[in-house]
Homo-oligomer: A and B are copies of this chain.
């Protein structure tokens, strides 16, 4: 067999391949995946490549269009329907080719454009920015069959399954491990519609295969995209991301209040509700299911509106293709109107949430989550058909819920691990998701330990005298001059300091205020207000000593806004709980300090890292190694939706996470007492030591201080 030299750009892959091979097959031999959906049918156009002409001295080849087979009728027809694409890109037919159609006849240099490259990735912003490879659990294949006749009256499913095996092999390469047709399965509900769809489509269908083994959707004609939803069920808010499973693109983000809030503000009160009311679980379960169904509909609507806006910007011919006008496109090449996604086209939903949200979603009674010894019903991830839960995506579609780790370390923490990947690090990372309850994960590739602790609502601004959510009017930043003891503050929605009318203090400013009171020497390291200070801002108020941040005339509520002794005590208890949890994990792991601290969730994104460390909320470490990563749980859900391998990974990782229940630690009370001080009664905190006023240095701690 004659061989030719092939160079692939931009990867630079090169090698000798057989004459007559398609460029797509040749590229695969050289380790470069080129996209395809249509089983090399010249239909999907995903495998477009460019023939680069010229004499390439570096490779010692003479690359010419004549060195590949001429443009076929099918290719010509494909490009004829896309004049705008050619014009926009400045390509001409012959230069651009469908690599599944174009056969090698001589030396050639090929450019694989971004959109044709296989193994698509999305980039996730995290402590270590990483690329996530798109490997969804559902893949689509175009299957064309010879209709049955009296000589070959083989059944519909077997006819389709043999076609799928062929298509899978064409799309993935003949050497790829694809299941034999008789190993494939079809979901029962999907089977029910099979015969009609095959005949209506004249034996040309696009099928969606789940996990390479089960057909869950059969659509007439050629259909390009499948959709999935990633959902983070918070106790307060439910957030849903509608994604394109092929590209990884987020098409819509929607959120709603968690409707269970009427049955209890926090998880403990909701568990209590299910214990006290025989129909309590059923009510909570139905409430979340109906919210999910509402969010699905909203997300599809939002996505279609935004896709419609994109189509409107296209030239008329592109828009007509997008609208699926049969006059423009061949009957064998139905392009689904991309602005008309249906909820039934959503083939998978991945969910995360704390263990209580997890149990209620699955209609599992959560009572043992709230009673010692605090045991979930199940840790491992659960796969269940959407129809079993009444979730109105495609009825053959799958619901995947990530594993729980412990009673108070749920699927949201699993998702955070998946997003941040402490299990792939050499360094020891401490991940903290702060809420009313904080979950902590510490470790590296060798070992991960976890715990959780109630922190109370103070860190989120509740149970603090003038605490409020980070809404307009909320003070979000506080600075106190250590000489004048006068404050500066910034209000949400205002660009400058000390402008606008204050209404209250939100979580980040509470941390700021406590840290600044300490730094300026207004409260001592035990959190007690000093009384002999030369400022009228420190005063005896109705509920004891307090520091006035904003005078009544600076507010929209006509009252002074102070931080009270009571408020400081609340923060001390919350930060002591969190610090003790961190310290316990570090100690159990034989570590002094973490290499990195990662703060997940909304709270972590807004607080001032330095001030959080100054009050001893987090263990000492170099401030440049403290990261706020936002909604890591939501990101983790999206990663699991887009990459099936990540699901197995997180199941395996969570199986080996060691769980510690804090009250079982004998030193807990002792440690907790020491941790109520700012930043801590017996720990040195060298990285913020310069901010600590009048520090009495423990001789034992000296060696750690720089």
Contact residues of A between 347 and 393, Cβ < 8 Å to B: 362-365, 368, 372-380, 382, 384, 388
Stretch among A2-10, A151-159, A689-697 lining the B interface:
A151-159
Contact residues of A between 633 and 659, Cβ < 8 Å to B: 651, 655, 659
Which of B157, B195, B406 lies in contact with A368, CB distance below 8 A?
B195
Contact residues of A between 157 and 180, Cβ < 8 Å to B: 157-158
- A638–B540 Cα distance when bound, in Å, is 87
Q: Are B153 and A404 in contact (CB under 8 A)?
A: no
- A156–B364 Cα distance when bound, in Å, is 12
- Contacts A364-B195, A368-B195, A388-B188 known; A154 to B380 CB distance under 8 Å? no
Tell yes or no: A274 within 8 A of B by CB.
no
Q: Are A378 and B191 in contact (CB under 8 A)?
A: yes
**Which of chain B's residues have a CB closer than 8 A to the CB of A156?**
368, 375-378
Tell yes or no: A196 within 8 A of B by CB.
yes
Which of B154, B376, B384, B651 lies in contact with A155, CB distance below 8 A?
B376
**Which of chain B's residues have a CB closer than 8 A to the CB of A158?**
378-380
Q: Are A153 and B196 in contact (CB under 8 A)?
A: no
The distance from the CB of A451 to the nearest CB of chain B, in whole angstroms, is 12
Tell yes or no: A661 within 8 A of B by CB.
yes
Q: Are A382 and B154 in contact (CB under 8 A)?
A: no
**Which of chain B's residues have a CB closer than 8 A to the CB of A380?**
157-158, 182
Q: Are A148 and B375 in contact (CB under 8 A)?
A: yes
Interface string of A292-320 (1 = CB under 8 A from B): 00000000000000000000000000000
The distance from the CB of A450 to the nearest CB of chain B, in whole angstroms, is 12
Q: Are A363 and B192 in contact (CB under 8 A)?
A: yes
Tell yes or no: A407 within 8 A of B by CB.
yes
Q: Are B379 and A155 in contact (CB under 8 A)?
A: yes
**Which of chain B's residues have a CB closer than 8 A to the CB of A363?**
192
Q: Are A149 and B373 in contact (CB under 8 A)?
A: yes
- A417–B363 Cα distance when bound, in Å, is 44
Contact residues of A between 189 and 214, Cβ < 8 Å to B: 189, 191-192, 194-196, 199
**Which of chain B's residues have a CB closer than 8 A to the CB of A407?**
153
**Which of chain B's residues have a CB closer than 8 A to the CB of A148?**
373, 375
- Contacts A182-B380, A188-B382 known; A659 to B153 CB distance under 8 Å? yes
The distance from the CB of A249 to the nearest CB of chain B, in whole angstroms, is 31
- A153–B659 Cα distance when bound, in Å, is 8
Tell yes or no: A663 within 8 A of B by CB.
yes
Which of B151, B364, B375, B384 lies in contact with A154, CB distance below 8 A?
B375
Tell yes or no: A484 within 8 A of B by CB.
no
Q: Are A379 and B154 in contact (CB under 8 A)?
A: yes
Tell yes or no: A664 within 8 A of B by CB.
yes
The distance from the CB of A141 to the nearest CB of chain B, in whole angstroms, is 19
- A59–B438 Cα distance when bound, in Å, is 71
**Which of chain B's residues have a CB closer than 8 A to the CB of A373?**
148-150, 153
- Contacts A182-B655, A365-B195, A655-B182 known; A157 to B664 CB distance under 8 Å? no
Give A contacts to B, CB under 8 Å: 148-151, 153-158, 182, 186, 188-189, 191-192, 194-196, 199, 362-365, 368, 372-380, 382, 384, 388, 404, 406-407, 651, 655, 659, 661, 663-664
Q: Are A150 and B365 in contact (CB under 8 A)?
A: no
- A607–B182 Cα distance when bound, in Å, is 40
- Contacts A195-B365, A373-B148, A377-B195 known; A661 to B188 CB distance under 8 Å? no
Closest to A199 in B: B368
Closest to A387 in B: B388
- Contacts A150-B663, A192-B364, A372-B150 known; A157 to B384 CB distance under 8 Å? no
Q: Lowest 4 A-B CB distances belong to which pairs?
A: A157-B378, A155-B376, A155-B379, A188-B384
- A148–B664 Cα distance when bound, in Å, is 14
- A188–B377 Cα distance when bound, in Å, is 12
**Which of chain B's residues have a CB closer than 8 A to the CB of A404?**
155
Closest to A651 in B: B182
**Which of chain B's residues have a CB closer than 8 A to the CB of A188?**
362, 382, 384, 388
Q: Are B151 and A664 in contact (CB under 8 A)?
A: yes
- A195–B378 Cα distance when bound, in Å, is 9
- A373–B146 Cα distance when bound, in Å, is 13
**Which of chain B's residues have a CB closer than 8 A to the CB of A384?**
188
- Contacts A188-B388, A380-B182, A384-B188 known; A374 to B195 CB distance under 8 Å? no
- A382–B365 Cα distance when bound, in Å, is 33
**Which of chain B's residues have a CB closer than 8 A to the CB of A151?**
661, 664
**Which of chain B's residues have a CB closer than 8 A to the CB of A664?**
150-151
**Which of chain B's residues have a CB closer than 8 A to the CB of A182?**
380, 651, 655
- A191–B384 Cα distance when bound, in Å, is 11
Closest to A384 in B: B188
- A196–B663 Cα distance when bound, in Å, is 26
Interface centre among A150, A199, A659 (most CB of B within 10 A): A150
- A188–B186 Cα distance when bound, in Å, is 19
Q: Are B192 and A157 in contact (CB under 8 A)?
A: no
- A535–B589 Cα distance when bound, in Å, is 109
The distance from the CB of A90 to the nearest CB of chain B, in whole angstroms, is 50
- A155–B404 Cα distance when bound, in Å, is 9
Q: Are B191 and A155 in contact (CB under 8 A)?
A: no
- A30–B207 Cα distance when bound, in Å, is 51
- A188–B401 Cα distance when bound, in Å, is 12
**Which of chain B's residues have a CB closer than 8 A to the CB of A368?**
156, 195, 199
Q: Are A375 and B659 in contact (CB under 8 A)?
A: no
- A615–B201 Cα distance when bound, in Å, is 50
CB pairs A–B below 8 angstroms (14 shown):
A148-B373, A148-B375, A150-B373, A150-B663, A150-B664, A151-B661, A153-B407, A153-B661, A154-B375, A156-B378, A157-B377, A191-B364, A191-B382, A196-B365
- Contacts A158-B379, A192-B364, A195-B377 known; A150 to B655 CB distance under 8 Å? no
- A364–B157 Cα distance when bound, in Å, is 12
- A375–B155 Cα distance when bound, in Å, is 5
**Which of chain B's residues have a CB closer than 8 A to the CB of A364?**
191-192, 195
